[in-house]
């Protein structure tokens, strides 16, 4: 009897082992999500502007200005349409006090002692308009610029009414691409 029970148990175990693969899954699913990488990039075709020596402005109403004759082109090198923003910086001498960049009011700025204005003129693809560059605050240069499309702009320097530093001053104009 013991042999019969042993044979029955071994037979059941073998039959069960053979039946298991028939009960298991033959496939399963993995849910995968993915997104294309967004590349934000802008390039400009002019990397330096050397203004000539200019007289100081007499007053805010009588400014010494130098408008650029050349158009600077900013190209959206991103793989998506972007908004292009523009800003400026204070003008720093080798030593001494900087000239503070003024952008109030936004369309003209205000010149004063050790305070200058850097305007930008939008030229392409929309109608020409001007605005003052601000330090630490981006201003819209162009909206919805398609990938590989370009916009043009020109700069205009408005000298301060007085200065404590007569040496060369350096500043930056920054163009940034952002998602709309």
Return the domain boundaries, the chain. Answer: 42-178
Question: Six-digit token pair at 125?
Answer: 């693809």
Q: Are the beta carbons of 150 and 74 closer than 8 angstroms?
A: yes
Q: Are the beta carbons of 141 and 150 closer than 8 angstroms?
A: no
Q: Could you read off the pLDDT of 10-25 as tens digits, one per residue?
A: 455 545 555 555 567 8
Q: Could you read off the pLDDT of 80-126 as tens digits, one per residue?
A: 999 999 999 999 999 889 999 999 998 899 999 999 999 998 875 55
CA gap 162, 144 in Å, rounded: 40
Question: Six-digit token pair at 77?
Answer: 């090198």
Question: Six-digit token pair at 161?
Answer: 């009414």
CA gap 113, 51 in Å, rounded: 19
Q: If you write DSSP's letter for every residue of 60-106 in order, what string do you get?
A: SSS--EEE-SSPEEEEE-SSS-EEEEEEE--BEESSSPPBEEP-SST
What's 42-178's CATH class? mainly beta
């Amino acid at each position: 009897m013991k042999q019969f029970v042993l044979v029955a148990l071994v037979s059941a175990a073998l039959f069960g082992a053979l039946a298991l693969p028939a009960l298991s899954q033959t496939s399963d699913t993995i849910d995968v999500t993915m997104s294309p990488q967004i590349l934000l990039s802008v390039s400009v075709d002019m990397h330096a502007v050397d203004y000539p020596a200019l007289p100081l402005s007499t007053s805010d109403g009588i400014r010494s200005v130098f408008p650029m004759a050349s158009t600077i082109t900013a190209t959206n090198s991103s793989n998506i349409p972007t908004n292009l923003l523009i800003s400026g910086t204070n003008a720093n001498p080798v030593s001494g006090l900087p000239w503070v960049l003024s952008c109030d009011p936004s369309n003209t700025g205000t010149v004063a002692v050790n305070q200058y204005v850097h305007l930008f003129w939008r030229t392409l693809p929309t109608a020409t308009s001007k605005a003052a560059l601000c330090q630490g605050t981006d201003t819209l240069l162009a909206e919805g610029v398609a990938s590989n499309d370009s916009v043009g702009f020109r700069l205009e320097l408005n000298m301060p009414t007085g200065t404590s530093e007569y040496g060369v001053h350096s500043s930056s104009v920054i163009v940034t691409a952002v998602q709309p």
